[in-house]
Amino acid sequence: MEAMNSSSASAANASFSRGRRHMILVWRKFLGCEEGPRTLKELVDHWLDTECPEADEDPNERRAFSTRDNYRGYLRKWVKPRCGDQALDEVKAVAIESWLSTLKKDDSTALADGSKKKIRGLRHLLYEHAIRYEWTDRNPITSVRQSGVRQATPIRLSVDQLSPTYYGELKQRERVMVLLDFGRIPFSIV
């Protein structure tokens, strides 16, 4: 018997996987189980309802309000409008990597790598949610590579560089506010 080459082996595995998913869906339908979302938009809506409520308090206390608000913003701006109609089982890692590389802000500059990494992580969460509810058996986002390296290193000012601005430009009230923001007040300065 001849050995199968890698492309025919991949095709056979993909066919088996599709067949397995189809059988799971048939059994779930036969047993009267919930069918689940078919598109990314439907999955996002379900995830938002169950894992990321809009109320000020999360009954499960999983995420802070600011985290839930950021997630909703990313999903509303970047995921739902661009990928909402995409079928869950048709998502490919390479296509997601390509899509992430094309994301641009409103001013047509490239979206920062850190933001792309957050979008990738959020999509990974969505697929983990679908796996937990047994709507899919794989998370294609696991294979997506996305760097989160900063575009520029922030400039750190020394005390000598900061002092002229601190003492020359700021009034005492604003100086106290700056010090409180840093979390400590050196008593020699106040």
Which pLDDT value is given to residue 29? 55
Please tell me whether residues 20 and 46 are part of one structural domain.
no
Q: Which domain holds residue 2?
A: 1-35
Burial of 125 (0-12, 13-18, 19+ CB in 10 A): middle
> In the chain, how many domains are there?
3
Please tell me whether residues 52 and 120 are part of one structural domain.
yes
Please tell me whether residues 24 and 111 are part of one structural domain.
no
Whole-number Cα distances in Å, 141 to 20, 29, 45, 136, 181:
20, 27, 19, 13, 38
- Please check whether residue 42 lies inside any domain of the structure: yes
Please tell me whether residues 16 and 79 are part of one structural domain.
no
Per-residue pLDDT of 157-186, as tens digits, reads: 777 777 787 788 888 888 888 777 766 555
Per-residue pLDDT of 14-52, as tens digits, reads: 555 556 656 665 655 555 556 778 889 999 999 988 888
- Please check whether residue 149 lies inside any domain of the structure: no
- Please check whether residue 138 lies inside any domain of the structure: yes
Please tell me whether residues 126 and 175 are part of one structural domain.
no
Please tell me whether residues 129 and 42 are part of one structural domain.
yes
- Please check whether residue 187 lies inside any domain of the structure: yes
Question: In this structure, what DSSP letter does residue 154 have?
Answer: P
Per-residue pLDDT of 49-73, as tens digits, reads: 888 877 766 666 778 888 888 999 9
- Please check whether residue 182 lies inside any domain of the structure: yes
- Please check whether residue 148 lies inside any domain of the structure: no
- Please check whether residue 150 lies inside any domain of the structure: no
Please tell me whether residues 77 and 130 are part of one structural domain.
yes
